[in-house]
Amino acid sequence: MKAAIYPGSFDPVTFGHLDIIRRSAEIFDELTVSVLNNKTKTPLFSVEERVKILEEATKDLPNVKIDSFSGLLIDYAKAKNVHVAIRGLRAITDFEYELQIAQTNHKLSGGRLDTMFLTTTLEYAYLSSSSVKEIASFGGDISQCVPEFVARLIYEKYGIGENG
Ligand code: PNS
C-alpha cells in the first residue's frame, strides 16, 4: 500500500491545500494530512480546531485521514512507517525553502523520507493562509480562498460579520 503524509500548519486550510490533498489522494492509497503543533507560533485556530476543519473539508475523500504531530517530521513519519511527504509548490519563491527542508529530511532520515512536490494549480498560486487571514481581519472577501464554512469560522475569530 502506498501511503504519504501531507504536513503543514493549515491555519487555516485553503483551496490551494485542498487542491493538493485531492490530487495526492488520487496518487496514493492512503494520505494522512497532519497538522503541525508548533509551540513557537501563535495560530488563529488551535490544533484541535484545524483537525476538525480539515476533517470536514475532506469528508468526501475516503482515503484521507487527518492527524496532528509535534516535533520532527522524520520521527513522525518513521512512527507511522510512511516514506513520502507531500508539499505543494506555488512559485519559485517557495522552492528554496522547500528544497532545504526536503534535503534536510532526506539526510536526517537516512534516506527513508522523500518529499514529493506537487505544483499548485495556477488558479490557487496566489493563495496563502497568511493573506487569507489578513484579508479576513479587515472584513475582506475570502470566498474564493477557502470553503464557506471555513470563511465563517475565520470571520468569527476576528469578531466580524461576513464581509464586513
Ligand atoms: O504549512 P507550513 O507551515 O509551511 O508547514 C511547514 C512544515 C510543517 C512542513 C515544517 O515546518 C515541518 O515539517 N516542521 C516539523 C519540524 C521539522 O521536522 N523540521 C525539520 C525541517 S528542517
47-106 confidence digits (pLDDT tens): 999 999 999 999 999 999 999 999 999 999 999 999 999 999 998 888 999 999 999 999
Nearest ligand 1 atom to alpha carbon 104: 22
Per-residue pLDDT tens digits for 141-154: 999 999 999 999 99
Shortest-distance Cα residue to atom 2 of ligand 1: 8
Phi, psi angles (nearest 5°) of residue 69: -150, 160
Q: Is the pLDDT of residue 24 over 60?
A: yes
All residues at 6 or more sequence positions from 45 whose CB lies less than 8 Å from its CB, including other chains: 11, 12, 53, 153, 157
CB 115 within 8 A of CB 106: yes
In whole angstroms, what is the distance from residue 65 CA to residue 54 CA? 9
Distances, alpha carbon 93 to alpha carbons 89, 96, 99, 125, 128, in Å:
9, 7, 11, 11, 13
Higher per-residue pLDDT: 163 or 89: 89
Residue 89, ligand 1, Cβ within 6 A: no
State in Å: Cα 65 to ligand 1 middle. Answer: 19
* Nearest alpha carbon, ligand 1 atom 20: 72
Distance CA 13, CA 26 (A): 19
Pocket of ligand 1 contains residue 104 by CB under 6 Å: yes
Pocket perturbation via mutation, ligand 1, pick of 5, 9, 69 by most ligand atoms within 8 A of CB: 9
Report the predicted TM-score, pTM, of the whole model to 2 decimal places: 0.96
The whole-angstrom distance between residue 12's C-alpha and the CA centroid of its chain comes to: 8
Tell me which residues are annotated as active site: 17, 41, 90, 129
- To test the pocket of ligand 1, the residue of 73, 93, 116, 118 to mutate (highest count of ligand atoms within 8 Å of its CB) is 73
Q: How far is the CA of 102 from the centre of ligand 1 (A)?
A: 10
Task: Please report the domains of the chain, with CATH numbers, ordered by start residue.
Answer: 3-125 (3.40.50.620)
